[in-house]
């Protein structure tokens, strides 16, 4: 018996005697239960993790800054029968830039370098919440003007916790309208209740079809136009083209139809875009002037917090972006953000913003200023604002 016991038999073999034994290995059913429990724990953990974002949108559990807007943005269009955004009953014809011209590669469209200042890659916080919220059509759009300071305005606005914006220019209402609203909405970042979705495409302001198309999306869309002295804007526009195609003719020779008579070539898009009064008119057939905000490109540089104050009021946002967010970078020669969206580092716009302009003949500049004066005065009347360009 002793031999048999020492031969590894169980203590149960010896009635009345309990010998120390190694713990029995769990039966397969118990092992399976333990495995199931572990999986349940993992699943529960993952569920709670992904729920965090949605919970943030729930009243009383707000984690991200909603609620600071005084009024909510208008709701997105009701979905169509197939669950997609409604489409207009016609196929989009190619959009017509009012300012088509002799600049073959650039035209009137904004040709912002294809790397937006703040890429769409979400910050660590927003990627934590990336699965939460929903994509909405924009409730506010920066529609122009090309070279007005539109990128600076959007990057500054993105600092606001209640603003979510797509980084790149979608060009939906001028180039991609036939792709439909579902396509457009899909480009947008996800937003939580109370956050505004925004985009900027400066060529909309000079696109004939854009006012009707934006109004068809929502009559309540808020429109922001950053305007800048049309003379400086034209030179900035030319500077951008020159940076890509150094062999183009001089500004002076492109500007005149006939230099001797002093006749200005208004078909050149660099000139055409600056006739703001003319481009504004069609917008007023679709939107009340109170639904448009005109931001001074000059003041956006000299007093960014002041202009951002006006923009936040217009959007119904709490004034969160203030003087404290900016510093003047002497090397760049422009105001920069102390902290960009989703980052703790100072951030200036890239080298394609704030380029050195070529020297233009003073007499040519004077002639151009004279050309724009009546259009500027008309624009001041239409907007009720004197931008002080004359």
Ligand X SMILES: Nc1ncnc2c1ncn2[C@@H]1O[C@H](COP(=O)(O)OS(=O)(=O)O)[C@@H](OP(=O)(O)O)[C@H]1O
Residues annotated catalytic, as ranges: 147
Q: Which residue's CB is nearer to ligand X, number 149 or number 282?
A: 149
Q: Shortest distance, CB of residue 244 to ligand X, whole angstroms?
A: 12
Residue in 300, 364, 365, 368 binding ligand X, rule: CB under 6 A: 300
Could you say which residues in the range 113-132 bind ligand X, by CB under 6 A?
none
Q: Which residue's CB is nearer to ligand X, number 196 or number 300?
A: 300
Q: Which residue reads 């006006």 in tokens?
A: 310
157 binds ligand X (CB under 6 A): no
Q: By rule CB under 6 A, what count of residues binds ligand X?
A: 20
151 binds ligand X (CB under 6 A): yes
Contact 99, 108 (CB under 8 A): yes
236 is in an annotated binding site: yes
Residue in 66, 110, 195, 241 binding ligand X, rule: CB under 6 A: 110
Residue in 101, 202, 211, 282 binding ligand X, rule: CB under 6 A: 202
158 binds ligand X (CB under 6 A): no
Q: Shortest distance, CB of residue 206 to ligand X, whole angstroms?
A: 11
97 binds ligand X (CB under 6 A): no
Q: Which residue's CB is nearer to ligand X, number 108 or number 315?
A: 108
218 binds ligand X (CB under 6 A): no
112 binds ligand X (CB under 6 A): yes
355 is in an annotated binding site: yes
Rounded CA-CA distance 341/338 in Å is 10
146 is in an annotated binding site: no
Could you say which residues in the range 232-271 bind ligand X, by CB under 6 A?
236, 239
Question: Three-state SS across the chain?
Answer: CHHHHHCCCCHHHCCCCCCCCCCCCCCHHHHHHHHHHHHHHHHHHHHHHHHHHHHHHCCCCCCCCCCCCCCCCCCCCCCCCCCCCCCCCCCCCCCCECCCCCCCCCCCCCCCCCCCCCCCCCCHHHHHCCCCCEECCCCEEEEECCCCCHHHHHHHHCCCCCEEECCCCCCCCCCCHHHCHHHHHHHCCEECCCCEEEEECHHHHHECCHHHHHHHHCCCCEEEEEECCHHHHHHHHHHHHHHHCCCCCCHHHHHEEECCCCEECCCCHHHHCCCHHHHHHHHHCCCCHHHEEEEEHHHHHHCHHHHHHHHHHHCCCCCCCCHHHEEEECCCCEEEECCCCCCCCCECCCCCCCCCCCCCCHHHHHHHHHHHHHHHHHHHHHHCCCCCCC
148 is in an annotated binding site: yes
147 binds ligand X (CB under 6 A): yes
107 binds ligand X (CB under 6 A): no
Residue in 56, 95, 99, 152 binding ligand X, rule: CB under 6 A: 152
377 binds ligand X (CB under 6 A): no
* x-marked contacts with ligand X along 46-85 as a string, rule CB under 6 A: ----------------------------------------
Of 147, 142, 306, 350, residue with least CA distance to 229 = 147
Q: Which residue's CB is nearer to ligand X, number 129 or number 238?
A: 238
| Bind-site residues for 3'-phosphoadenylyl sulfate | 147-151, 228, 236, 353-357
Q: Which residues bind ligand X (CB under 6 A)?
A: 110, 112, 146-152, 202, 236, 239, 300-301, 334-335, 349, 353-355
């Amino acid at each position: 018996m002793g031999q048999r016991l020492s031969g590894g038999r169980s203590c149960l073999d010896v009635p009345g005697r309990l010998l120390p034994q190694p713990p029995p290995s769990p039966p397969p059913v118990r092992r399976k239960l333990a495995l199931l429990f572990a999986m349940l724990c993992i699943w529960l953990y993952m569920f709670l993790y992904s729920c965090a974002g949605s919970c943030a949108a729930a009243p009383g559990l707000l984690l991200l800054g909603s609620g600071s807007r005084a009024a909510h943005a208008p709701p997105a269009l009701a979905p169509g029968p197939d669950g997609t955004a409604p489409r207009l009953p016609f196929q989009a014809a190619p959009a017509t830039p009012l300012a088509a011209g002799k600049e073959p590669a650039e035209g009137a469209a904004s040709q912002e370098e294809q790397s937006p200042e703040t890429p769409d890659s979400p910050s660590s916080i927003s990627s934590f919440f990336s699965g939460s919220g929903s994509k909405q059509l924009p409730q506010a759009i920066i529609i122009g003007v090309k070279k007005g300071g539109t990128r600076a305005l959007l990057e500054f606005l993105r600092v606001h916790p209640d603003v979510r914006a797509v980084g790149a220019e979608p060009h939906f209402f001028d180039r991609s309208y036939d792709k439909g609203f579902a396509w457009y909405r899909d480009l947008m970042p996800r937003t939580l209740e109370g956050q505004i979705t925004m985009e900027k495409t400066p060529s909309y302001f000079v696109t004939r079809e854009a006012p009707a198309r934006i109004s068809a999306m929502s009559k309540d869309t808020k429109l922001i136009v950053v305007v800048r002295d049309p003379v400086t804007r034209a030179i900035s526009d030319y500077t951008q083209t020159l940076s890509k195609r150094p062999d183009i003719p001089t500004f002076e020779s492109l500007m005149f139809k006939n230099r001797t008579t002093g006749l200005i070539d208004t078909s050149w898009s660099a000139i055409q875009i600056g006739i703001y009064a003319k481009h504004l008119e069609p917008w007023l057939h679709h939107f009340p002037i109170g639904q448009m905000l005109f931001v001074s490109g000059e003041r956006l540089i000299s007093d960014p917090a002041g202009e951002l104050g006006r923009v936040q009021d217009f959007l119904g946002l709490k004034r969160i972006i203030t003087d404290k967010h900016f510093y003047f970078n002497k090397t760049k020669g422009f105001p920069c953000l102390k902290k960009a969206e989703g980052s703790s580092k100072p951030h200036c716009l890239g080298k394609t913003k704030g380029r050195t302009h070529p020297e233009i003949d003073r007499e040519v500049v004077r002639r151009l200023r004279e050309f724009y004066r009546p259009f500027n005065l008309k624009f001041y009347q239409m907007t009720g604002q004197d931008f002080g360009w004359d």
